Amino acid sequence: MRKQCIVIVMIAFLLLALGTLITAFFLDYESYENDVVLGKVRVRTELYYEKDGETYPGAEMVIDPANNIKKKGIYHINVVDRESVEFIENVRIRVVVESDVDTYIRIKLLDQMVLTTVNYLGDRTEVPIIAERTEFYYDESEWYYNNDDDYYYYKLRAKRVSESEPLTIVFIGGYFPDIHYHTRPLGYSIQMGIKTEAVQAHRGPQQNWGLDNPPWGGTW
């Protein structure tokens, strides 16, 4: 009888200890979950052209019109003809934010000066030209260019206006005031891709970009 009592007491003690451990686990799990912001991060970038008050959508570069072959994600920028809709001074870029949580955004412009020639057979040849980074005009109070990684960072947290209305942010809204681009000879153009990254504001830059603090200083 005495042994049975001892066994019962030991079982009760083990159950109590196990229950304490389980409770502690769930309490710790709950505290961890409370430190995570769950939501949707969704951002897209739109390139378009604006000339004489009219806007024109950007389109991926066509390299073979007969077969409608395009360079996916690459846009053509004219640097020769000022009257062209696609002339560099007409380039505009905006960011459309559909995130339902606070989001940080950064953009890298992958631009390449190219000389294109076409021979008598119609064969097209593109030669990359070494050139300095193409300068674009942007609002420095909202955007920061980081020389270390070549990204433009949007300094503010961004989030959609409502469930049915995204937030639109202007990145490139015009060309440099009172300055005109120095045109290039016939055959030259810029081919540009846009790399857009967006992360949840809560711990996103630290965990995804490896940045404990913003490149422009301060804290996230």
Instruction: For the chain, give every domain's residue range.
Output: 1-35, 43-209
| Mean pLDDT to the nearest integer, 98-107 | 98
Rounded to whole angstroms, the Cα distance separating 196 from 9 reads 63
Q: 40-52: string of b/e by CB count within 10 Å (b at 16+)?
A: ebebebebbbbee
Whole-angstrom CA distances from 220 to 89, 109, 196, 204, 209 are: 33, 23, 19, 10, 12
Task: Output the pLDDT for position 15.
Answer: 42
Amino acid, single-letter form, for residue 75? Y
The CB-side HSE value for 11 (13 A sphere, CA atoms) comes to 6
**pLDDT (tens digit per residue) in 117-149:** 888 887 888 899 988 889 999 999 999 999 999
Q: Residue range 72-98: average pLDDT?
A: 97
Residue 150 region, left (φ>0) first, then alpha (ψ -120 to 50), else beta? left
Q: Kindly report, residue by residue over 11-53, the tens digit of the pLDDT.
A: 444 444 444 433 333 333 332 333 455 689 999 999 999 999 9
Mean pLDDT (the chain, rounded): 85
Both structure tokens of 75 = 């846009």
